[in-house]
Amino acid sequence: MFTNCICIGLAYIVDRLVGDPRVLPHPVIMIGKCIALLEKIIRKLVVQERMLKLAGILFPLLIGGGAFFVVTLLLDILRLWSGWLAFAVEVWIVSTTIAVKGLGDAAMEVYRHLQNGDFQKARHSLGMIVGRDTADLDESETSRGAVETVAENIVDAIISPLFFALIGGAPLAMAYRAVNTLDSMVGYKNEAYRNLGWASARMDDVMNYIPARLTGVLIMVTCFFMRLNVRRAWTAIRRDAKLHPSPNSGIPEAAVAGALGIQLGGTNFYQGIPSHRAKMGEPLRLIQKQDIILTVRIMNIAATICVAVLCVIGVLFVI
């Protein structure tokens, strides 16, 4: 566990410094290609809709299990040459499973365009990180989209991969990232993926269950240091998080909404079709572009606290 903690600390530093440089191949892109290929094969072989539900189990088994196996095999081979080389590669792999810098940079790009009054570019930048329609959003709704995305992804893109890296190193962290990518690609409750993607969506919910609740605690601790309203954050988690369609995503969104005194959720449009989400938090004021900055700060501090705690756990484990 001590080695995993050191790996996590170094991976976090790598992510904050360089993020995901385009010159290096990103494992998530390769995972996405494997998911698309597997879906094509399954849909070609399985023609009966009722059989797709059974075939859907193959996604987390083959993609998640395959990611774990490949990373484990790679590190074992590298250890035959050099333990230090294997450790360095493991640090890099773990850094690719988290996205503190990438998520923060993407959100701040939306903020900068809003700050410059270029709403078209702001909506376009938001559209690169959300699935909802953004072409007709005003400043407040554009800011809401950025705040919700950052808040929700504190779990998916930061705390969960760190949690699994602590337990099982890079192989388990990458297996989580594979399952999370599956959920984003096939875990929809629509006609096309209701049967094929159910297992992927369920597995993602299970794997995020504990990290999401740890994230709620981390956000409240962060709110204390930022002098935000901890009580409102806790109240929003207890009252509103369960209203979210996801058993996990509602926790960080509700916490951020309560802490900032804003209301998240409402109506979003996906390819012109309205989707009504439960509202979280109290609308004590309108959502503003400055809330993007505050949410990114909450994310950064919560991530740093998480890594610091994990490193302390590693030291205590050795002692």
pLDDT in tens, 238-249: 999 999 888 999
pLDDT in tens, 76-115: 999 999 999 999 999 999 999 999 999 999 999 999 999 9
Closest CA to 149 of 265, 283, 242: 265
Q: Reply yes or no on whether the pLDDT at 122 is more than 70.
A: yes
Average pLDDT, the chain: 91
pLDDT of residue 114: 96
Task: Evaluate whether 45 touches 131 at the Cβ level (below 8 Å).
Answer: no
To the nearest 5 percent, what fractions of the chain are helix, strand and coil? Answer: 75, 5, 20
| pTM of the predicted model as reported, rounded to 2 decimal places | 0.92
d(CA 125, CA 289): 14
Spatial separation of the C-alpha atoms in residues 2 and 313, rounded to whole Å: 8
Residue range 33-70, pLDDT digits in tens: 999 998 888 888 877 777 777 888 888 999 999 999 99
pLDDT tens profile 179-235: 999 988 887 777 667 778 788 889 999 999 999 999 999 999 999 999 999 999 999
Residue 245 to residue 99: CA distance in whole angstroms: 24
Percent of the chain with pLDDT over 90: 68
